[in-house]
Amino acid sequence: MAFKILLTGGLGYIGSHTYVDLIAAGFDVVIIDNLCNSKRGVSDRLEQVTGVPTDFVEADVLDKAALAQVFTDHNFDAVIHFAGLKAVGESVEKPLQYFQVNVVGMVNVLQAMQVAGVKSIVFSSSATVYDPIQPSPLNEGMPTGYANPYGYTKLTCEQILQQACHADPDLKTGILRYFNPAGAHASGLIGEDPNDIPNNLMPYISRVASGDYPFLRIWGNDYDTPDGTGIRDYIHVADLAAGHVKSVQALLSREASHLVNLGTGKGYSVLEMLNAYSTACGRALPYEIMPRRAGDLATTFAEVGRAKQLLGFSATRGLDEMCSSSWHWINTGAKLVSPDG
């Protein structure tokens, strides 16, 4: 019988792409999501992409009774926990909300797993947990730190998972530190569709390309990088999705818990990203140089050896594919999504 996986936050950007890969790999999957940053219609899109009815339950990870019901209704073998809030600026304004959703939400999921006897969980962490003074490439053995409440919640969740494993040696965890997700599914039917104005580079550039915003504001061109703009490790969301399948497969094979970076090991500057997107959409996208954004680093990119060694994971898709798939999504799927669904 197929393994059954619970995806929390599975209608969101990374969750929806991971869902498609899990179905293709033969898993049974149930999604829960409270739709605070996604739309119900994504569930229909997933059906179109996979050809399989989507098992979606509208539920909040803060609702313990609803969680308990989902675990009663299904016999899960593992959980992949995406549900959470991710806007750094908002986390500074509303830290308590971030502690509640990201930390308490994950603890609720762990408690529901404990009651149901589920022993494997994959967790969405972030490169933001590295101590900002560490030089790139960032490797998993480097010291951690945080610069804002969002980063604090990710680091705290990692530590809670490690302590939960210590208390229960049967519990296996896959902690995945994502670098900068970009791109969309090749079908053009699912992609990043934030409910608010995006803070991150790629979704913002895509809205400049679509004409929703007049130009990109580049936060600083006086960094110590070849063109002066910030360098990041952008990873195609389809590669990230593949990383989750490998992670959950390793846990279900009862391999040891793992903590790995998911990145490409290569960095691109803001101007390189903008140029690549301009090529993809067929016009030079306008920009203005602004002062640096508070808290930004000049350069971050991943050391990718551990993910390769432990999971056999390597990203395979390049910058052009990230930009062209994003543009395809903006021109097809994103236009079909109504505000409520």
In the complex, the residues that contact ligand UD1 under the rule CB under 6 A are 86, 88, 126, 128, 150-151, 180, 199-201, 204, 216-219, 230, 232, 270, 293, 295-296
Q: Which of 5, 6, 7, 9 binds ligand NAD (CB under 6 A)?
A: 9
Q: What, of ligand NAD, ligand UD1, none, does residue 9 touch, CB below 5 to 8 Å by kind?
A: ligand NAD
Instruction: Answer yes or no whether residue 83 interacts with ligand NAD by CB under 6 A.
Output: yes
Report what 94 binds from ligand NAD, ligand UD1, none; CB cut-off 5-8 Å by kind.
none
- Could you tell me the smallest distance in angstroms from the CB atom of residue 219 to ligand UD1? 4
Q: Which does 230 bind (CB under 5 to 8 A by kind): ligand NAD, ligand UD1, none?
A: ligand UD1
Measured CA to CA, the distance from residue 334 to residue 328 in angstroms comes to 9
Q: Which of 21, 27, 37, 206 binds ligand NAD (CB under 6 A)?
A: 37
- Least Å distance, CB 81 to ligand UD1, is 16
Among 21, 27, 38, 333, binds ligand NAD (CB under 6 A): 38
Residue type, 92: V
Rounded distance, CA 52 to CA 35, Å? 21
**Would you say 35 or 184 has its CB closer to ligand NAD?**
35
Catalytic residue among 13, 98, 150, 178: 150
Q: What is the contact mask toward ligand NAD in residues 178 to 207, using x (rule: CB under 6 A)?
A: x--x------------------x-------
Binding to ligand NAD, residues 94-113 (CB under 6 A): 101, 105
Stretch that binds ligand NAD, among 4-12, 20-28, 204-212, 254-262 (CB under 6 A): 4-12
The listed partner (ligand NAD, ligand UD1, none) that binds 139, CB under 5 to 8 Å by sort, is none
Could you tell me the smallest distance in angstroms from the CB atom of residue 294 to ligand UD1? 7
| Torsion angle of the four alpha carbons 28, 33, 35, 40, in this order, in degrees rounded to the nearest 10 | 20
Which residue, 294 or 336, is less far from ligand UD1 as judged by CB? 294
Q: CA–CA separation, 233 vs 228, rounded Å?
A: 16
Q: Are 155 and 283 in contact (CB under 8 A)?
A: no
Active site residue 150: yes
Which CB sits closer to ligand NAD, 212 or 222?
212
Torsion angle in degrees (nearest 10) through CA of 103, 309, 180, 16: -70
Among ligand NAD, ligand UD1, none, the one that 295 touches (CB under a kind-dependent 5 to 8 A) is ligand UD1
Residue 4's DSSP bridge partners are 28
Amino acid at 245: V
Residue in the block written with tokens 């929806």: 16
* Binding residues vs ligand NAD (CB under 6 A): 8-9, 11-15, 33-38, 60-62, 82-86, 101, 105, 124, 126, 178, 181, 200
- Residues with a known catalytic role: 150
